[in-house]
Amino acid sequence: MAETKKLLRSLAGETQDVPPIWMMRQAGRYLPEYRTTRAQAGDFLKLCYNPELAAEVTLQPIRRYGFDAAILFADILLVPQALGADLWFVTGEGPCLSTITTQADFDKLGPVSDIHEVLNPIYETVKILSRELPSETTLIGFAGAPWTVATYMIAGRGTPDQGPAHLLREENNALFEALLARITAATIEYLSCQIEAGAEVVKIFDSWAGSLKGEAFQKYALEPAREITAALKARHPGIPIIGFPREAGEKYIGFAKATGVDCVALDNSVSPIWAAQNVQVDGCVQGNLASRHMVTGGQELVDETRAIVQAFKGGAHIFNLGHGITPDADPDNVQLMIDTVREG
């Protein structure tokens, strides 16, 4: 049977007159219905681990907007928690974790084989979504890339320059690489279980890839993405994978070929015309409208959306933002973006 889901057609390399569209963090605080469900859950982590409510918030933007894909509602820091790190969220500040800066800290982590005990509710969410999503909607699973997850595990929080992780990488490289290897192995198992539960695509989010320079990018952003992709494709032949080495800049060039991912997601620090000439030549690209347009709206949103669609119309493209939508976004601007993509 010929593939009918628009997102999967783009991931297979098909050029479409109207690109499929979804949005990073499309289930989120900008939607009043999300805020209601989150309040019902009690807090962010309880929402992640409640399959019925996590499925509900995943479905909300599909009901409201009819996006071509739904992305599982979860968080990249569930993997460290499943490995034994302490994780909590501070309102207004974001995530906090117990830190890993010494061998003794690392030795407290559990084995990869134990992660499913914590992560089983996530697989249950995927199963619910697999049943409940409209037939035309693609279900995306995801995980954080090992480098990005490691930056949080080392610092215990988000940092502006990933300084603590870079310091450990330079001062105790053996420990740093052991941590990355543990995260990589856990990520393969986690994504594999998402696929078994019904995810049709998986995405690897490397939000802090851009802070790795030179050889460090190859070793700690590109190589783990290649390893995860190869392992998943060996277990699940034909599974499409989206890689997102955010702010990679020139290093977006050749990333798909080097890692084996089917699509490269682009942030909005690169121009669509440059990306079409240098990245899309190797296959499908995703992106890359600046998320600020979801706040400001207006003609600028329409013009920029049209320019992105135009730039990428010569090849396989999935329309998305360059990063996640922010809590201060206006839901009406999301509709304006969708209408502009679909109606031209």
Q: Assign 3-class secondary structure to the chain.
A: CCCCCHHHHHHCCCCCCCCCECCCCCCCCCCHHHHHHHHHHCCHHHHHCCHHHHHHHHHHHHHHHCCCEEECCCCCCHHHHHCCCCEEEECCCEEEECCCCCHHHHHCCCCHHHHHHHHHHHHHHHHHHHHHCCCCCEEEEEEECHHHHHHHHHHCCCCCCCHHHHHHHHHCHHHHHHHHHHHHHHHHHHHHHHHHHCCCEEEEEECCHHHCCCHHHHHHHHHHHHHHHHHHHHHCCCCCEEEEECCCHHHHCCHHHHHCCCEEECCCCCCHHHHHHHCHHHCEEEEEECCCHHHHCHHHHHHHHHHHHHHCCCCCEEEEECCCCCCCCCHHHHHHHHHHHHHC
Asked whether 29 and 327 are in contact (CB, 8 A), the reply is yes
Selecting among 75, 114, 292, 342, the annotated active-site residue is: 75
Selecting among 152, 190, 220, 252, the annotated active-site residue is: 152
Question: Is residue 29 flagged as an active site residue?
Answer: yes
Selecting among 29, 35, 226, 342, the annotated active-site residue is: 29
Question: Is residue 152 flagged as an active site residue?
Answer: yes
Structure tokens that stand for 323 in this block: 């990063």
Residue 67 phi, psi (nearest 5): -55, 155
Selecting among 9, 25, 169, 246, the annotated active-site residue is: 25
Question: Is residue 252 flagged as an active site residue?
Answer: no
Question: Is residue 75 flagged as an active site residue?
Answer: yes
Tokens 């009043």 label which residue? Answer: 32
Structure tokens that stand for 211 in this block: 């802070």
Selecting among 9, 38, 169, 246, the annotated active-site residue is: 38
**How many Cβ atoms sit within 10 Å of the Cβ of residue 157?**
14
Question: Is residue 262 flagged as an active site residue?
Answer: no
For the annotated catalytic residues, the residue numbers are 25, 29, 38, 75, 152
